[in-house]
């Protein structure tokens, strides 16, 4: 049931022939976060994406740029971004398989099989992170959620908050074996411009005790200045099923303080660090989420996330040729409590949040 739902809901959307957007604003990615055992707040983050951009002015064409982003945190962060030629990306609409150069995501026998192969040179993503992991979804995916970002802008997503990951990850010289480690997956697609009037925060929590049946994911999408909230959501699964979705006015997200680190965070691509020296990132020290039933029912959700460390992904702005957008990937701990469908829950766990600023 879960496998057939994933196969139907999570397939690649971008058309195989021609551009998905006339103005080169289409983006699509498959995103995975895998809990790494043996390290406090350890996570592997892998993002396989294809972005369109308009090149050559008015009479120009839409160019597809495939990229692989691989970040891992053991004792410290490592990772890089690798860009591929258009013809080195194989991803067909209606299928879940994505191939970027030597790296592949394959959907077989009810599981994603992710392989990251080291590049020959130091600039490749695999130069820092290599992996072979089977990721089996343990809960039902959401149906597609859609958020309008204003004229011409829209983002769609499907999320699976809990998968079990088995295989291995190699970070630098250290190899980590995964035996049913918890993982997270989402799939996003839509038309928007990095550096446009847009920012977001999203996150998820994996319970320390895998027997805890609850899974949570939360997101807030705002304008670039974070003055106007476009969409807020907090989703709660119990076992395999999505049990409750708190939306918009039912959810309040509060960001507190500034996370300060002893050293500047890892920034990828590594050359981008020359453009964003220092440690300022806009990442808060903590985030509190409160959700309650707008209809006056008894469902509640409270999440307290505390940032432990972060790495930055620098993306070129699509709007300003001399600006960057920073995706701050943050690991931490979270305490989750609440009540859904008359069932109480209260657990601690490892968590990740992403703060998009630019």
Partner 1 sequence: MAESRARAFPRYLRAAFALLASDTPEHFAALRDTLGALAIVITLGDEHPLRVCMADGAASVTEAAQGEVALQLGEPAFDALLHGELTVEEAIVGDRLAVKGKLDEVLIFLDALHIWLHGALRCPALHDLYARYLTDTR
Residue with Cβ nearer partner 1 (3 or 55): 55
What is the pattern of x (binds partner 1, CB under 8 A) and - over residues 240-269? ------------------------x--x-x
Nearest approach, Cβ of 267 to partner 1 (angstroms)?
Answer: 7
Phi first, then psi, for residue 9 (nearest 5°) are: -90, -25
Regarding 18 and contact with partner 1 (CB under 8 A), the answer is no
Nearest approach, Cβ of 119 to partner 1 (angstroms)?
Answer: 8
Short-list 92, 167, 157, CA closest to 136: 167
Nearest approach, Cβ of 275 to partner 1 (angstroms)?
Answer: 5
What is the pattern of x (binds partner 1, CB under 8 A) and - over residues 52-71? -------------x------
Q: Given candidates 137, 161, 190, 316, which one binds partner 1 under the rule CB under 8 A?
A: 316
CB within 8 A of 182, min separation 6: which ones? 34, 35, 162, 163, 164, 165, 206, 207, 210
Regarding 314 and contact with partner 1 (CB under 8 A), the answer is yes
Nearest approach, Cβ of 54 to partner 1 (angstroms)?
Answer: 13
Please state, in angstroms and as integers, the Cα–Cα distance from residue 165 to each residue in 36, 186, 210, 312, 328, following that order.
10, 15, 12, 24, 24
CB within 8 A of 287, min separation 6: which ones? 201, 203, 253, 254, 255, 256, 303, 304, 305, 307, 353
Regarding 101 and contact with partner 1 (CB under 8 A), the answer is no
Regarding 275 and contact with partner 1 (CB under 8 A), the answer is yes
Beta strands 300-316 and 267-268 are parallel
Nearest approach, Cβ of 219 to partner 1 (angstroms)?
Answer: 27
- Which runs of consecutive H residues, i.e. helices, occur in the chain? 2-9
Residues of this chain that interact with partner 1 (CB under 8 A) are: 65, 83, 85, 119-124, 264, 267, 269-275, 277, 314, 316, 321-324
């Amino acid at each position: 049931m879960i496998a057939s739902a994933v196969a139907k809901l999570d397939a690649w959307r971008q058309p195989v022939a021609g551009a998905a957007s006339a103005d080169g604003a289409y983006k699509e990615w498959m995103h995975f976060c895998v809990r790494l055992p043996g390290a406090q707040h350890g996570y592997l983050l892998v993002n396989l994406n294809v972005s369109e951009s308009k090149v050559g002015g008015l009479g120009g064409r839409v160019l597809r740029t495939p990229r692989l982003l691989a970040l891992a945190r053991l004792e410290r962060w490592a990772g890089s971004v690798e860009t591929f030629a258009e013809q080195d990306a194989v991803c067909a609409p209606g299928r879940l398989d994505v191939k970027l150069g030597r790296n592949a995501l394959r959907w077989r026998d009810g599981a994603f099989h992710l392989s990251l192969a080291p590049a020959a040179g130091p600039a490749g993503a695999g130069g820092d992170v290599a992996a072979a992991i089977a990721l089996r979804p343990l809960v039902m995916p959401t149906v597609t959620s859609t958020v309008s970002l204003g004229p011409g802008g829209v983002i769609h997503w499907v999320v699976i908050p809990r998968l079990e990951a088995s295989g291995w990850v190699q970070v630098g010289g250290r190899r980590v074996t995964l035996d049913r480690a918890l993982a997270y997956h989402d799939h996003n697609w839509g038309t928007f411009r990095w550096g446009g009037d847009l920012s977001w925060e999203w996150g998820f929590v994996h319970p320390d005790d895998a027997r805890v049946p609850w899974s949570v994911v939360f997101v807030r999408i705002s304008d670039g200045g974070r003055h106007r909230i476009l969409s807020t959501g907090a989703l709660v699964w119990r076992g395999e099923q999505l049990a409750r979705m708190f939306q918009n006015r039912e959810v309040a997200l509060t960001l507190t303080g500034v996370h300060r680190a002893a050293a500047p965070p890892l920034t990828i691509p590594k050359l981008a660090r020359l453009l964003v020296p220092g440690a300022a990132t806009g990442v808060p020290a903590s985030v509190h989420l409160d959700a309650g039933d707008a209809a006056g029912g008894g469902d509640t959700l409270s999440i307290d996330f505390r940032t432990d460390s972060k790495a930055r992904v620098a993306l070129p702005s699509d709007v300003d040729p001399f600006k960057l957008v920073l995706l701050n990937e943050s690991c931490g701990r979270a305490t989750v409590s609440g009540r859904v469908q008359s069932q109480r829950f209260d657990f601690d766990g490892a968590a990740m949040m992403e703060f998009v600023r630019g």
